Amino acid sequence: MFKWFKKKKEKRDSEILKTDTKEPSSIWYEVGDKDNPFNKKVLDVSDYTRNTMAFTKSKAIALKFNELRNSIGKELIDFDTSEFDQVSTNLEYPHNGKQLEGIAFKADSMDCKWDIYAYNDYLFFSRSWDGILIYKAKFSISENSLVISEIRFDNMFTGTEAENDVHFLINSHAMNQAFPHMIPKELTSESEIEQWSFVKFGNRAYYATYDSVVDARYTAQWLSEN
C-alpha cells in the first residue's frame, strides 16, 4: 500500500493540491468516543479532504479525465487482468435484488478519484484521472443482498489491501455512506495521513484507521443517538 503512495509521489509534478483550510483539524477518536460512529479507532480527516481541491498541470491528464466523464466503462470489460493477483472474499451488502449494469459511481470532479462500473457480474474499480483498472470484483445478487466472492487486483497491492479498499469504495462511493478506510502503518503524522487519504480516495475519505475495515460498523450507541 505504501509502495503505491511512493509511486504516486513520483508523479506529483502533474498533481496540485489546494487546501482552503490553513490548519486542518484532524482528530483521533477512540472506540466509544461520542463523536466516533465506528467500532474502530479512527482519525477524522474530513476537515482536510472536504476542503482540498486537486488540479493537474498536465493538459493530457485533464483531457483524459474529461473524456472519461463520458464513458460508461464498457472498455474495462476486456481490460487485461492476466497479471492481476486474486483473493477470495465474502463481502455482503444489502441490495434490492435488481441486476446491476452500467455506472455504479462516477467522479464528478478531479477531487474524486474513483469510478465504479458493473458488467457481466463484475464490479470494475478504476482511477478517475486515467481510467486504469485497479480492482475487478466478482459479485452475485440474491433477493436482498449482493455478495462479492472474489477480487482481482493490481499486484502493487496485497489481498488484504484489495479487500479493504473494495469494501470501503462500495460503502463510501456506491452506497454514499461515511465509512473508514484502512491506511498503512508507515504513516505516522496527521499531515501524512491527510494527504495520503486524499491522494488515494479524494473527497470521499472521511475517517482513517490502521485497522482492517472489513468488519467496521456503526456502533449501537451511535445509531441510537443519531
Assign 142 to helix, strand or coil. Answer: coil
CA-to-CA distance for 21 and 1, rounded, in angstroms? 27
pLDDT digits (tens, 9 = 90+) for 70-114: 999 999 999 999 999 999 999 999 999 999 999 999 999 999 999
Query: How does residue 3 score in pLDDT terms, banded at 50, 70 and 90?
Result: low
CB of 196 closer than 8 Å to CB of 5: yes
pLDDT(150) > 80? yes
Query: How does residue 184 score in pLDDT terms, banded at 50, 70 and 90?
Result: very high
CB of 197 closer than 8 Å to CB of 54: no
pTM: 0.92
Mean per-residue pLDDT for 1-11? 49
pLDDT(4) > 90? no
Assign 131 to helix, strand or coil. Answer: coil
CA-to-CA distance for 21 and 14, rounded, in angstroms? 22
pLDDT(225) > 90? no
Neighbour-count burial of 212, counting CB atoms closer than 10 A to its CB (0-12 exposed, 13-18 middle, 19+ buried): middle
CA-to-CA distance for 172 and 167, rounded, in angstroms? 9
